[in-house]
């Protein structure tokens, strides 16, 4: 299931805005690897290599390997700061993963069979309310995406987070807070007849 994403990084000693600016001028992105009760490691990665990976949706949800000084770190992408106006990554955060510790990650939703939904065939309008859900699972169970099958949706109807078919070992933590937190993922509305 997991595509092997690897990224080479260099350790960095210089910190602060000036050091980060110097790295960016060398076409490098400052970053950090933290977590798993191990000391954080400040790194820099090649901007072009990172951008290339970021074009693949799976990079955001997969377990990644970051090689630092010959040592492979198993991580997930935790945060990304982009320039507000230019296609430049300003900073990247990676979180170490541990085989026996659950992690919480935003997973994209892929909507399928929309055109087959009875409510859509009758001219109903679709509202996609969520593009992702936050899940909790062990690293080995981390899904690339969650499929939302719309084939049975009438108009009006809604599919909620609790209706999603999750892979084994994957939960949606917010659902433990009660029915008030069970948001609609997608809805099919009846089209009002024109007067």
Q: Please list the residue range(s) of the chain that carry CATH number 2.170.120.20.
A: 103-189
Is pLDDT above 50 for 1?
A: no
pTM: 0.86
CATH 2.40.240.10 intervals, the chain: 5-96
Helices (H) and strands (E) in the chain, counts: 3, 12
118 vs 1: which has the higher pLDDT: 118
Give the C-alpha distances (Å, rounded to integers) separating 145 from 33, 86, 135, 139, 175.
24, 28, 11, 14, 18
Q: Which CATH homologous superfamily contains domain 5-96?
A: Ribosomal Protein L25; Chain P (2.40.240.10)
Tell the CATH superfamily of the 103-189 domain.
Ribosomal protein L25, C-terminal domain (2.170.120.20)
pLDDT tens track for 58-97? 999 999 999 999 999 999 999 999 999 999 999 999 999 9
Q: What is the pLDDT of residues 95-146, one digit of tens each?
A: 999 999 999 999 999 999 999 999 999 999 999 999 999 999 999 999 999 9
pLDDT, mean of residues 26-42 = 95
């Amino acid at each position: 299931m997991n595509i092997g994403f690897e990224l080479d990084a260099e350790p960095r000693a210089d910190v602060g805005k000036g050091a980060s600016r110097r790295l960016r001028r060398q076409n490098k992105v400052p970053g950090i690897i933290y977590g798993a009760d191990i000391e954080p490691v400040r790194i820099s990665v090649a901007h072009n290599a990172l951008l290339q990976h970021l074009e693949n949706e799976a990079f955001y949800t997969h377990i990644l390997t970051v090689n630092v000084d010959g040592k492979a770190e198993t991580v997930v992408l935790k945060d990304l700061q982009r320039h507000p106006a230019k296609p430049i990554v300003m900073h990247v955060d990676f979180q170490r993963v541990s085989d026996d510790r659950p992690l919480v990650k935003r997973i994209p939703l892929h909507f399928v069979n929309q055109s087959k939904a009875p409510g859509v065939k009758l001219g109903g309008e679709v509202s996609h309310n969520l593009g992702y859900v936050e899940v909790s699972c062990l690293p080995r169970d981390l899904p690339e995406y969650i499929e939302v099958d719309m084939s049975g949706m009438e108009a009006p109807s809604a599919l909620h987070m609790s209706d999603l078919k999750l892979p084994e070992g994957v939960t949606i933590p917010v659902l433990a807070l009660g029915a008030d937190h069970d948001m609609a993922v997608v809805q099919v509305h009846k089209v009002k007849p024109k007067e």
